[in-house]
Structure 1
């Protein structure tokens, strides 16, 4: 446990399924970029991105948490259109929940490289880069167990508003029943919700996000959440002293925080949940049975986590002639 003022902790998400090649959803499909690069028809877009990500991950393994969070924060707000990447005074990036999202530089570097006239200029969307990069980081953080296939063919949005992020991203203290409804509203199931919460297997939580559980539970001064394990409560209070060092953080998964696996669920079952929602999904009657199942079945989680990520990555996508393919991920093309 250490102090860090740049890495965010909040909803992040993660992993693994093998989808049959050729399967598609709408105009998304596996292998969309095959033979699409006009100046280099044999160029493998996904393999190129994988190489870039492997190098970045070797220097910073926490990229998996950053990318899972970026994918969720982009897709859950008006769909997976890379609107989170746009710079500006009132864009999604400036909203409170997004101020600690990171990984933008890696996306920029990959996009800049792809735009080289000898590689694949004007073809690969920023939205697809986010999805592909997330897949690679999850694969690497899972011990290279499975390289689940992703659909591509998304296009980039041209609108990004901070108010949309504030209005649509679930807060860390959201009630389970409300969270399920929010996920269903964008076409995701209750199981998707539980699986995507499993992305907290590699996330962190800043003290400011859960300090009320330690010192002011349900508005009662000095009260602590009784659902927190007694010993763990003391650990949290040591890391997060009342009234200070809110930039300190703890791992959301107390068992194997640097590895994408099912241990997050086991952590919550031990009453080591850090955020309110982390602990609540282990206790709520609508979710506890599924949490226990994934806690006991790691292989099933690995497969279904990838399913859930692909379901998330289909939310509100732009395809065909919708949106644009941005030349730079941080700004809309000048013609707009």
Structure 2
């Protein structure tokens, strides 16, 4: 089967799962298209058999009127944020009505969607993200710091990994972190990820220029990013809204401490002071970061339990079986 994968993000693990089952997959970024007609022309001319969209609104809206069967994978923004907009909600409802199946990362996400669209409940499946990390063995940490213009010496680097767009709120901690850096020059915050929103990316870079100790870093291939994570002090998530953060789960798998904003999507996978640390204000982030730096026993306990959690609840093989099974519904 030849399937089109329409997504609103830069990467999709499910693509590997479908390739492994023998399907021919073509990955398309939803931001490259403005209308459903463009996708209809694409799927018709290239003779696609089915489609799978990421994000009920961003990807799903492009499948309105599609002649081929399709499935939907919820993101975080769709059921957490887009659902608040009447126009987007109507589009999402129409897309979900026609979808053969939908996938939510958590039971909570499924219930949010089912409360809005009760008739779709039976076609919504819950499958958490499967995680598989493979850090590069040749990654040069010191060159990475040099490229980031971080001086040699004691360095405690916190990495905030996200696509640069407003919902990820990468500027949330900048002022408080820069103030902390002025008192302790060893601490640095690196913001790293694709420029999803070019205008906002420019805003982030301009703000960071005036914030000592905070850096916008060059995007890295996944294996090098995993190696950088493994060498940093902690992974940071400051999003306003999340479905299920792959970066958080990858850090947990790599036995890197996680400090995440206390929002439903993060709290669904992190137990405070057990598998990570949750903060509600920038000031609380700084306090928790200091406690993590000064308490190696706490750090060891957190990363050990987080690793166990990921191995138990975020199986790569389990995710593969689910998607390979669901795609049969598109044939």
TM-score range, shorter chain: under 0.3
Q: Which has the higher strand share?
A: 2
